[in-house]
Amino acid sequence: MKTHQKHIAFLYKRFCGKHAKHEKGFVLVLTLMMISLLSVLAITSFELVISTIRITNNHKNYLETLYTADAGVEHTLCVLSKVSWTGFAWTDLAFQTLGLDAIDASPNSPDWSYNIVSKQWQMTNNQLGDSYTVIMTMYVSAPRNNKFHLESTGTVLSFTKTIVADIGNIPNPQITLWMEKEM
């Protein structure tokens, strides 16, 4: 048994002696390669997480802006539902005298104004931190197809989104068209 152990010891010394000179620092090089690889993986993972957070925040802001613009459409629909439509004639003068500023008059309500040149009602609401601006024009066509056309632009931070909507079915105002406006 001792002979066998001596033989193994001899082979080990011979093998290690031959190759030991060529393998100095191999473990150090292998360790440095593994650290480099793990560093690249960590940096890539970190950049991926940061990119995902940015995308998520942008999507959140986009949706918040879209909902803010939609709030302008809903606000206008609510105001139009309070108008007395009795005897309303689809003329520029009737549109001008709708009196939206009087209907929506309260300390917390935005101010409606009529622009005589462009024949549009306009309102801006920025009391919620975010803001929306609504521009409403009147379209007169066939007696049953008369409608009000809205462009409601919501703004949140540096994001803006515009919704185009048509409101018809007067005297019971209803949204007949709702779509996002591409910019």
pLDDT digits (tens, 9 = 90+) for 114-151: 999 999 999 999 876 789 999 999 998 866 788 999 99
Rounded CA-CA distance 157/131 in Å is 10
Q: Do β-strands 112-115 and 120-125 pair in parallel, antiparallel, or remain unpaired? A: antiparallel
Residue 110 is predicted with a pLDDT of: 75
With 0.85 as the threshold, say if the pTM is over it: no
Q: Which of 5-14, 99-108, 142-151, 158-167 has the lowest mean pLDDT?
A: 5-14
Q: Which of 11-20, 24-33, 54-63, 89-98 has the lowest mean pLDDT?
A: 11-20
In the chain, the amino acid numbered 69 is A
